[in-house]
Structure 1
């Protein structure tokens, strides 16, 4: 799939509607790669009569545009955001924890969806509803794009809050990813309760020597 061929549309949702689905939720997660903080997922059921203009993969949008779209989405759509903790990431592994966050977000939707569009090529094991995995779904499906935006806004704000409690790691700008500042702070300030101990840079500091 060429990047130039990818466009965000309501096509996947329309195809599901033709098959009889009524409440279609897009599901996405953010935060698999950081060294600190939870992994966060969102599930969003858009109102077909009030689709926000400019929905796209959250990574393609400016922070200002993401924040504006998050408000628009929440004003018209059904949104659920859930997380899997650092402890769960370390205990289960990041893939399973990501799926757990997705499962929790879907379970929070009330009334429940009858069809799910899941970003990626894997479907979490404990989703007891019809599902479809969509590769690069956050750039192809408006519902998944909306979920990517809501999940990223929630997680970014959470990391800014954690940065106030643990200054020096730069979480207010790196969001827990392994930036130079973050790695230097790990060496100089040590490991916090919000660090993922199973991730190699953190593990190496804990067990070096």
Structure 2
């Protein structure tokens, strides 16, 4: 039995009106370092996944469990990493929009309609799209995308932490905490930092 029917009901209505659909969401727009991770997912309406919800409402353990279920049972999914360099060149908004377009284009199946978390749709999508504010708590497809994006980015940051333990990335995942700023002051920045974010706040210090 699915314990979040409202999210699937929303998608069912959209599917009835527009055809085959995918959900799109991102993780990591706010951190000082690391990529933005974007995911696009086409769920199987005949195989609802129990417990799919806004990734922020789930424990880390539950997100990991659902990640495995979604990647195994979705009709198609695509995960895209947008680098700090792209973010610095294009700014966070347009780098994220570009990542969303790439994720949708990369799907093994072509959706008829795209549901996007937030209040803006990427302008380069080939399909019609709907921006859904708080979409990860409204649409099962967007919620599934939020889980794939969050888990993928967290895994990336944990791996990065192994190579740069001095920044304690496993602890704060790159977000702008007091500890993180103190570590940047002490050790400087590396290539995985978003210089545009740090420059605005006066924290652009090279290592050494």
Taking a change above 3 Å as real, the CA distance of residues 201 and 176 of structure 1, as seen in their structure-2 partners, is farther
Instruction: Report the counterpart of residue 8 of structure 2 in structure 1.
Output: 10
Find runs of 4+ consecutive structure 1 residues off by over 2 angstroms.
200-203, 205-208
Q: Partners of 2:99 and 2:45 in 1: how far apart?
A: 26
Structure 2 gap segments, 5+ residues each: none
Number of residues paired by the alignment? 202
Instruction: Report the counterpart of residue 191 of structure 2 in structure 1.
Output: 193
1:111-162, Cα deviation, whole Å (9 max, x unpaired): 2111111001100111010111111000110000000000000000001111
Structure 1 gap segments, 5+ residues each: 1-6
More off after superposition, 49-58 vs 197-206: 197-206
Given that residues 55 and 150 in structure 2 are in contact (C-alpha distance below 8 angstroms), is that contact kept between their aligned partners in structure 1? Answer: yes
Given that residues 118 and 133 in structure 1 are in contact (C-alpha distance below 8 angstroms), is that contact kept between their aligned partners in structure 2? Answer: yes
> 1:27-176 maps to which residues of 2 (within 5 A)?
27-77=24-74, 78-176=76-174
Given that residues 197 and 203 in structure 1 are in contact (C-alpha distance below 8 angstroms), is that contact kept between their aligned partners in structure 2? Answer: no
More off after superposition, 148-157 vs 180-189: 180-189
Tell me how far 1:167 sits from its aligned partner.
1.3
Helix, strand or coil at the partner of 1:81:
strand
Helix, strand or coil at the partner of 2:37:
strand
Tell me how far 1:92 sits from its aligned partner.
0.6
Q: Partners of 2:203 and 2:141 in 1: how far apart?
A: 40
* Coordinate RMSD, CA, aligned: 1.9
Helix, strand or coil at the partner of 1:9:
helix
Tell me how far 1:76 sits from its aligned partner.
0.5
Tell me how far 1:47 sits from its aligned partner.
0.7
Helix, strand or coil at the partner of 1:12:
helix
TM-score by length of 2: 0.92
Instruction: Report the counterpart of residue 25 of structure 1 in structure 2.
Output: 22
Q: Partners of 2:201 and 2:17 in 1: how far apart?
A: 48
